[in-house]
């Protein structure tokens, strides 16, 4: 521990306190400004009313009105918010102070997920970008200090939603007719295992994988049934994915030396909110706050969409994504399930994850 502090203190641009940072990998649920900088991407939250309850209220790259789940969790733990990888102001100093967020709307565990969005970072691509970041940081502070920096950091991975919603569940996509549900989930698990092992080999020791929510209840799935009810078959896929992913993560955590890999999901509480919105202070848990109305569902919220009167009373922001308020509930559930502690309530080298 003494050695850690000495190492860090001789790096001039860091204070002597060991700064805990996060590296975030994910899809649109955690994207904070990557897709908005991909000019050809068809999944860009670039127009109002995205971001209306965040900062200056202009679109900032988040696919929601306010904070993401990772924003809320990081804030509670006293961690800096990692900027998006594509933010032009990001350099080595910024990364050493704040970590980095590679999440990208449309990204999947599988490379070919959501290819119709044209531009997005799959999980493999995000890991490749992270390897580039490591090269930069090693050049800046040397191999040993860099290794320590990446080992001390916390890692968040949130992927899989698009592999179902924008891949397996789409009738025109090859995976929907080449794979049974069981074999498709096996494929996701084999791939995810490789990806998590890659992150381990790159230094990740404290990692949390977020599970899926009840995907069959997102407005986009509900419009598939005449009654607007949740799609039970889709929800069952999410449950099966979560069970397998939880087993995978816990298995890796016990077999890889020195790791604390955790699995956190909020599936149960989200389903309860959806069935009992009033109990949680919501007034609507079925339709999006930002919408053109039930007849013209659009994938994204646009300036001509109608906004609900009270955004804190809606669970869904658009056809896919939860509101700020919903993300807060999901984050609180994950925090309490995993027993996260704020960074200031742990010692400098044993960490919160
Ligand atoms: C997925 O993409 C990565 C590059 O981002 C590539 O290295 C890898 O081979 C691809 N995997 C498959 C199965 O296509
Ligand atoms: C595990 O941690 C111990 C103590 O920090 C260290 O000596 C050892 O090399 C680590 N092993 C691996 C495989 O990282
Ligand atoms: C809840 O929504 C209903 C109509 O859907 C409305 O009449 C009622 O005033 C709303 N309540 C709150 C607290 O927003
Ligand atoms: C940690 O920080 C939070 C707010 O950032 C504060 O409310 C809390 O009291 C702090 N805890 C300790 C033990 O310093």
Residue 300 covered by a domain = yes
Q: Which ligand is nearest to the CA of 127?
A: 1
Residue pair 282/251 in contact (Cβ under 8 Å)? The answer is: no
DSSP states along 63-89 = SSSS--HHHHHHHHTTPPPPPBTT-TT
Q: Is residue 154 part of a domain?
A: yes
Q: Return the pLDDT at 346.
A: 57
**Distance of CA 257 from the midpoint of ligand 2 (Å):** 7
Cα-only R_g, the chain: 20
Whether 137 is in a domain gets the answer: yes
CATH of the domain at 24: 3.40.50.1110
Q: Find tokens 């906004």 and name the residue.
A: 307
Across the beta sheet with 154-158, what order do the strands follow? 99-101, 22-26, 154-158, 206-210, 260-264
Atom of ligand 1 nearest to the CA of 122: 5
Residue 1 lies in a domain: no
pLDDT of residue 212: 98
> Does some domain include residue 11?
no
What pLDDT, on the 0 to 100 scale, is given for residue 18?
52
- In the chain, DSSP assigns E strands to 22-26, 99-101, 154-158, 206-210, 260-264, 284-288, 290-291, 306-307, 314-316
Nearest to 98 by CA among 32, 178, 45, 143: 32
Q: Please say whether the dihedral angle defined by the alpha carbons of residues 29, 31, 37 and 38, taken in this order, is positive or negative.
A: negative
pLDDT at residue 118, as a whole number: 87
Per residue in 207-219, pLDDT (tens digit) is 999 999 999 999 9
The answer to the question of residue 7 being in a domain is: no
Atom of ligand 4 nearest to the CA of 78: 5
Residue nearest to atom 12 of ligand 2 (CA): 257
Q: Does 157 fall in a domain? A: yes
What residue numbers bound the domain in which 221 lies? Answer: 17-345
Nearest CA to ligand 4 atom 5: 78
User: Percentage helix, strand, coil, to 5, in the chain?
Assistant: 45, 10, 45
Ranges under pLDDT 50 in the chain: 1-17, 347-353
Identify which of 257, 260, 349, 350 to mutate to test ligand 2's pocket (most ligand atoms within 8 A of the CB): 257
- Taking the CB of residue 303, how many other CB atoms lie within 10 A of it? 8
Total residues belonging to the chain: 353
Axis crossing angle, helix 232-255 with helix 181-201, rounded to the nearest 10: 30
Q: Which of 258, 260, 351 to mutate to test the pocket of ligand 2 (most atoms within 8 A of CB)?
A: 258
What is the distance in A from the centroid of ligand 4 to the CA of 206?
22
Q: Find the 258 Cα to ligand 2 centroid distance in Å.
A: 6
Distances 291 to 297, 298, 303, 316, 318 between C-alpha atoms, Å: 7, 7, 10, 10, 7
- Tens-digit pLDDT profile for residues 181-197: 999 999 999 999 999 99
Domain count within the chain:
1
Residues designated as active site = 28, 318, 321
**DSSP letter at 215?**
G
Atom number, ligand 3, closest to the C-alpha of residue 283 = 1
Whether 234 is covered by a domain: the verdict is yes
pLDDT of residue 261: 97
Beta carbon of 310 within 6 Å of any ligand 3 atom? yes
**Is any ligand 2 atom within 6 A of the Cβ of residue 201?**
no
């Amino acid at each position: 521990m003494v050695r850690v502090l000495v190492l860090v203190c001789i790096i001039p641009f860091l204070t002597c306190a060991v700064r805990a940072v996060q590296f975030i990998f994910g899809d649109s649920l955690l994207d904070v400004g990557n897709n908005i900088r991909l000019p050809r991407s068809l999944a860009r939250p670039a127009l109002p009313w995205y971001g209306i309850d965040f900062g200056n209220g202009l679109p900032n790259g988040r696919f929601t009105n306010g904070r993401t789940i990772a924003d809320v969790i990081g804030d509670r733990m006293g961690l800096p918010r990692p900027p998006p990888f594509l933010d032009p102001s990001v350099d080595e100093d910024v990364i050493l102070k704040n970590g980095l967020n590679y999440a990208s709307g449309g990204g999947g565990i599988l490379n070919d997920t959501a290819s119709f969005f044209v531009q997005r970072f799959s999980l493999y691509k995000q890991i490749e970008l992270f390897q580039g970041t490591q090269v930069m940081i090693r050049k800046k502070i040397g191999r040993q200090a860099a290794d320590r920096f990446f080992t001390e950091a916390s890692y968040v991975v949130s992927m899989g939603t698009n592999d179902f919603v924008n891949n397996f569940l789409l009738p025109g996509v090859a995976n929907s007719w080449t794979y049974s549900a069981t074999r498709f989930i096996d494929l996701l698990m084999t791939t995810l295992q490789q990806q998590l092992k890659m992150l381990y080999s790159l230094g990740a020791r404290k990692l949390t994988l977020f599970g899926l929510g009840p995907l069959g209840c997102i407005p986009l799935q509900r419009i598939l049934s005449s009654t607007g009810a949740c799609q039970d078959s889709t929800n069952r896929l999410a449950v099966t994915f979560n069970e397998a992913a939880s087993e995978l993560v816990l298995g890796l955590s016990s077999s890889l030396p020195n790791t604390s890999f955790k699995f956190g999901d909020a599936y149960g509480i989200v389903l309860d909110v959806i069935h009992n919105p009033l109990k949680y202070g919501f007034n609507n848990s079925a339709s999006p706050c930002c919408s053109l109305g039930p007849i013209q569902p659009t994938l994204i919220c646009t300036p001509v969409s109608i906004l609900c009167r009270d955004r804190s009373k809606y669970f869904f922001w658009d056809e896919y994504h939860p509101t700020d308020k919903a993300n807060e509930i999901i984050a609180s559930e994950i925090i309490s399930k995993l027993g996260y502690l704020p960074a200031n309530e742990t010692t400098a080298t044993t960490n919160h994850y």
